[in-house]
Chains A and B, each alone.
Chain A
């Protein structure tokens, strides 16, 4: 049987044949045959310290490269630890393949040791999944898994492999299988004409772009269409970077923590051209009050998104590259509208002249991104710092703002930084985290040290769960419940114990030098920054309210004075 490969060896050889160069994982009982085959295979495996870290790192690797991210875990708790990362990839349409070990087929359904029905548990959060029963099918299933993860709207795919299937010898080595290549739906000419007509009739058109632009590799086509039409742009959280945030026509992020200019433009527009976005509630606020004067052109690769939440006058199902290339409207004069948008942008520009000597996080993040320039890649955690990054950082490239959008998963930032820095070694990859989020996957500092990954970490510490505190202040009558983290460990000491360089700043005059030191570092480095716990994220559209109702408070003007 020496020339007969095992199912596990077929897993490894198929991954290599599919062009996988790196995968993230953690071994255990049921997946041991696969780890046995992995050793010496030439594949680079990154041993994380918690399976959630593997799924987040694979997710970020995929976002940064546009390729499929791969993670592996054993059965039972190993597999369930992947789930948050799988959900994250599903909500943000990230191409990922997750390989899990499973108990032997004779133990399935018997409550065997470390048995959990991971296929059943993940049904709602995968694009597709398999429980492999025949080792000869492994090459075909894995090949198809990679295809499904990428085709159309991307997403995660799970392949669950029982231990005996992985260990079994395969007599006749199968090929990887041939599948018809996926063809995107061709946009209908009549729909393109109808869209052009709506744009030509519009006095106040506005692009509303989402993560789909980046996912579809349609950034050049969008920028060309902007050049042809001069139409202003607002972006979702995931769409940031598709248009340089420094562009005159870019009005910022829309929605709950969007810019005033973006939300005002949406509410005033008579036409929304929605590109790879899905009318998420954080973007729309109260849906019935969203863009009340606007007709809608909605372009998406997923038919299920068109007319799901907002009816479109023109829905175009198709590849964004093709659709955007096909749009050549003869524009009427929209200069008054564009001038109004630009004027609002200027009038409501963020201010950075906070009083005092304490560190003002928005100003620090803005400066960080400007110093890092077009090599800046942010891997955010979730909370106030995440919104400040979205509001204040400069993004000149796409695939540079990696953030847990739909899922809002605290703990994403550090393992995402692992995946992104391995994908983009020449970039300034910076994990921006908060003291709440950072503790959720703090163990991955050990991964940084093990592989010498020179990730830069900006840890904004307000000794509390800041966004929850902000909501409790505003919407729960200041009933502060379980948000105090003032007993945090000394993060500098913790990071140093993990083998990182680490240093702390507490006052504004230290910011410039600290950022220079961080960006110049060639080792994994943590910058611990103490900020005022009373600082909040503004503007804020209250939950359930219209985007027209933006709350804001400044140091020289009290809440609701706007």
Chain B
């Protein structure tokens, strides 16, 4: 089963690798990623992840992402607003 995770990450060294590495290390395949700008210091990241083994719980993974610093998990991507802002 695939899970779509939306994250907003600060523009800091290592943040992207930090979250993607965590998803893989904690037992999930990354099937797709998409990145998009939100503002000057923030980028949006949407990750489609799938458990490598049946006992890997998505709730645990999300809690592990939530305890990282320099990013925030969000319910919906702010892609549309960002695109509108960039084109203006």
Chain B residue with Cβ nearest A148 = B69
- Distance between Cα atoms of A131 and B14 in the complex (Å): 9
Please determine whether B69 and A307 come into contact, CB atoms closer than 8 angstroms. Answer: no
Please determine whether A124 and B25 come into contact, CB atoms closer than 8 angstroms. Answer: yes
Question: Which residues of the other chain, B, contact A130 by a CB distance below 8 angstroms?
Answer: 12-13
Please determine whether B17 and A120 come into contact, CB atoms closer than 8 angstroms. Answer: yes
- Distance between Cα atoms of A302 and B68 in the complex (Å): 12
Which parts of B39-55 form the interface with A (CB within 8 Å)?
none
- Distance between Cα atoms of A512 and B68 in the complex (Å): 51
Q: Is B37 an interface residue, CB under 8 A from the partner?
A: no
> What DSSP secondary structure best describes chain A's contact surface?
mixed
Please determine whether B21 and A308 come into contact, CB atoms closer than 8 angstroms. Answer: no
Question: Which residues of the other chain, B, contact A307 by a CB distance below 8 angstroms?
Answer: 57, 59-60
Please determine whether A128 and B13 come into contact, CB atoms closer than 8 angstroms. Answer: no
Chain A residue with Cβ nearest B26 = A304
Q: Mark A109-141, 1 if CB is under 8 A from B, else 0.
A: 000000000011001100111110100000000
Q: Is A303 an interface residue, CB under 8 A from the partner?
A: yes
- Distance between Cα atoms of A133 and B14 in the complex (Å): 13
Range of interface residues on chain B?
A: 10 to 19
Chain B residue with Cβ nearest A158 = B14
- Distance between Cα atoms of A152 and B67 in the complex (Å): 10
> What DSSP secondary structure best describes chain B's contact surface?
helix
Question: Which residues of the other chain, B, contact A131 by a CB distance below 8 angstroms?
Answer: 13-14
Chain B residue with Cβ nearest A129 = B14
- Distance between Cα atoms of A433 and B21 in the complex (Å): 36
Question: Which residues of the other chain, A, contact B14 by a CB distance below 8 angstroms?
Answer: 119-120, 123, 129, 131
- Distance between Cα atoms of A123 and B24 in the complex (Å): 13
User: What's the nearest-Cβ distance from chain B to residue A86, in Å?
Assistant: 15
User: What's the nearest-Cβ distance from chain B to residue A404, in Å?
Assistant: 21
Give the contacting residue for A123; candidates B17, B59, B66; CB below 8 A: B17
Question: Which residues of the other chain, A, contact B63 by a CB distance below 8 angstroms?
Answer: 302-304
Question: Which residues of the other chain, B, contact A129 by a CB distance below 8 angstroms?
Answer: 14
Please determine whether A127 and B13 come into contact, CB atoms closer than 8 angstroms. Answer: no
Please determine whether A304 and B64 come into contact, CB atoms closer than 8 angstroms. Answer: yes
Query: Can you list the 9 inter-chain pairs with the closest CB atoms, starting with the nearest?
Result: A304-B63, A131-B13, A128-B69, A303-B63, A304-B64, A308-B60, A119-B14, A123-B18, A123-B21
Which A residues lie at the B interface, using CB under 8 A? Answer: 119-120, 123-124, 127-131, 133, 148, 152-153, 302-304, 307-308
23 pairs of residues in contact across A and B, judged by CB atoms under 8 Å: A119-B13, A120-B14, A120-B17, A123-B21, A124-B25, A127-B69, A128-B68, A128-B69, A128-B70, A130-B12, A131-B13, A131-B14, A133-B13, A153-B67, A302-B63, A302-B67, A303-B63, A303-B67, A304-B60, A304-B66, A307-B60, A308-B57, A308-B60
